């Protein structure tokens, strides 16, 4: 059995260091598992991550082992260490203070957010997950952006007011008579209840700060609709500061780019988005105008074959949509077959189309072109398209010449 000394206020010396005796030591995956008769290293349990820490020689203070994880097994706490420790040895156990402070802050922040979500909006916490670099809370109802802003503001007011954290240890059987925000079910024996000022009350076995002020800062990062409710990502203490700073750096860069203040970047970005949409619309309009002239030129220069006109050309830089528009413009006239190739970004794009009076199958011509270029494409009898990668063995001009010869035959038939 391991005496748990990681909770504050239950030990004069504090909750980070204690003396202990090694009761067992065995090889395990990733190192050695050591059973101690007492520990300040919090094991992974109740949604809270494990502490890390060290074991030192009691007399000399020499480091004996580094503990990377601890786990509960009934009454025992097993410590995963990088080195073995002699069974019977007396050691000094020390938990990593920075990691503990971080976990306690996230955990306490979770109580504040969950307690206030319940008080303000009647939202019930139905899930909590804490990882090394993020923490989430699941609520059973959907909270709007405005509600989340109000929740974040209220949570930080609770931090500013520096509410005391009270721990009460009761017998599991006494839980029924207590009014708590959340009770874990089926608890027996000693049960810990945490109270954060008037904000929260629930059963919890994690480590917490002494008062809400120690949390420092609570920040809701993002939120999504999740299983009919809300999943929100939050950060507390230095995690929250680092997140806020990372976003501020992005905002500062954008503000410089737009020669404006951070608070006005949003408007500037939206304005630029509108301008971009207008530019695209204008570009589309002008491209169509240009393609109309192009179509007239191509028709004037088209090869006449048995009363039909063949427009087979290699263009530079046109994309698929532009090729299609050009083909449609050409095919407004009857008796036209259009074989349009475009070399663009290392690819050969092709669009084939026919208008009324032409019976040659564009689908078949496309298959022939696929064969010539090693490309992929297909379509209907009257319109088909495809593309191929331009390689050393594929010269677009050669492909065009071969297609032209092929089409002359097809149109004559
Ligand atoms: Zn807790």
Digit-coded pLDDT (tens) for 242-284: 999 999 999 999 999 999 998 999 999 999 999 999 999 999 9
Write out the DSSP string of 137-152: EEESS---HHHHHHHH
pLDDT band at 340 (very low <50, low <70, confident <90, very high): very high
So where are the chain's domains?
A: 3-95, 101-256, 284-412
- Region 101-256: CATH code: 3.30.980.10
Give 202 Cα–ligand 1 centroid separation in angstroms.
Answer: 8
Q: Which of 308, 307, 314 is nearest to 341 (CA)?
A: 314
**Structural contact between residues 217 and 159, judged by C-beta atoms closer than 8 angstroms:** yes
Give 108 Cα–ligand 1 centroid separation in angstroms.
Answer: 6
Give 1 Cα–ligand 1 centroid separation in angstroms.
Answer: 23
Q: Which of 84, 74, 94 is nearest to 15 (CA)?
A: 94
| Burial (Cβ within 10 Å: 0-12, 13-18, ≥19) of residue 273 | exposed
Question: pLDDT by residue (tens digit) across 136-175?
Answer: 999 999 999 999 999 999 999 999 999 999 989 899 888 8
Question: Residue 8's pLDDT is what?
Answer: 65
**Structural contact between residues 372 and 399, judged by C-beta atoms closer than 8 angstroms:** yes
pLDDT band at 14 (very low <50, low <70, confident <90, very high): low
Give 270 Cα–ligand 1 centroid separation in angstroms.
Answer: 42
Please report, for residues 120, 197, 249, the alpha-carbon distance to residue 216 in angstroms, rounded to integers and kept in the order given.
21, 16, 21
Same fold, 3-95 and 101-256: no
Question: pLDDT by residue (tens digit) across 280-329?
Answer: 999 999 999 999 999 999 999 999 998 999 999 999 999 999 999 999 99
Average pLDDT, the chain: 93
14: left (phi over 0), alpha (psi -120 to 50) or beta: left
Q: How far apart are the first and last CA of the chain?
A: 94
The model carries a pTM of: 0.76
Architecture of domain 284-412: Roll (3.10)
Distance CA 379, CA 411 (A): 19
Give 194 Cα–ligand 1 centroid separation in angstroms.
Answer: 7
DSSP designation for 106: H
Give 204 Cα–ligand 1 centroid separation in angstroms.
Answer: 5
Give 111 Cα–ligand 1 centroid separation in angstroms.
Answer: 6
CATH C-level class of 3-95? mainly beta
For residue 210, the SS3 value is coil
């Amino acid at each position: 059995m391991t005496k748990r000394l990681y909770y504050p206020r239950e030990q004069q010396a504090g909750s980070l260091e204690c003396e202990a005796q090694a009761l067992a030591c065995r090889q395990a995956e990733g190192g050695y598992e050591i059973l101690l008769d007492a520990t300040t290293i919090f094991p992974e349990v109740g949604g809270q991550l494990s502490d890390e820490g060290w074991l030192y020689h009691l007399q000399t203070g020499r480091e004996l082992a580094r503990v990377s994880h601890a786990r509960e097994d009934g009454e025992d706490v097993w410590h995963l260490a990088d080195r073995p420790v002699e069974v019977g040895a007396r050691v000094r156990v020390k938990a990593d203070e920075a990691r503990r402070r971080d976990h306690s802050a996230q955990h306490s922040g979770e109580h504040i957010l969950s307690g206030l979500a319940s008080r303000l909006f009647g939202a019930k916490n139905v899930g909590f997950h804490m990882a090394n670099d993020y923490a989430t809370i699941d609520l059973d109802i959907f909270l709007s952006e405005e509600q989340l802003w109000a929740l974040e503001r209220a949570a930080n007011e609770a931090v500013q007011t520096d509410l005391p954290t009270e721990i009460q240890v009761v017998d599991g059987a006494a839980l029924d008579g207590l009014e708590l925000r959340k009770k874990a079910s089926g608890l027996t024996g000693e049960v810990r209840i945490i109270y954060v000022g008037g904000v929260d009350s629930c059963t919890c076995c994690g480590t917490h700060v002494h008062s809400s002020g120690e949390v420092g800062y609570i920040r809701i990062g993002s939120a999504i609709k999740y299983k009919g409710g809300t999943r929100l990502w939050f950060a507390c203490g230095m995690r929250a500061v680092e997140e806020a700073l990372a976003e501020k750096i992005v905002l500062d860069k954008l503000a410089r780019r737009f020669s404006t203040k951070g608070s006005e970047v949003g408007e500037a970005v939206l304005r630029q988005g509108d301008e971009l949409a207008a530019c695209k619309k204008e570009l589309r309009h002008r491209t169509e105008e240009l393609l109309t002239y192009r179509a007239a030129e191509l028709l004037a220069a088209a090869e006449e074959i048995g009363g039909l006109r063949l427009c087979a050309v290699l263009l530079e830089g046109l994309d698929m949509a532009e090729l299609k528009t050009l083909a449609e413009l050409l095919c407004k006239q009857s008796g036209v077959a259009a074989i349009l190739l475009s070399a663009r970004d290392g690819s050969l794009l092709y669009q084939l189309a026919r208008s009324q009076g032409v019976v040659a199958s564009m689908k078949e011509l496309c298959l022939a072109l696929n064969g010539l270029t090693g490309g992929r494409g297909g379509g209907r009898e009257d319109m088909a398209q495809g593309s191929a990668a331009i390689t050393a063995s594929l010269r677009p001009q050669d492909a065009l010449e071969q297609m032209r010869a092929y089409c002359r035959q097809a149109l004559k038939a």
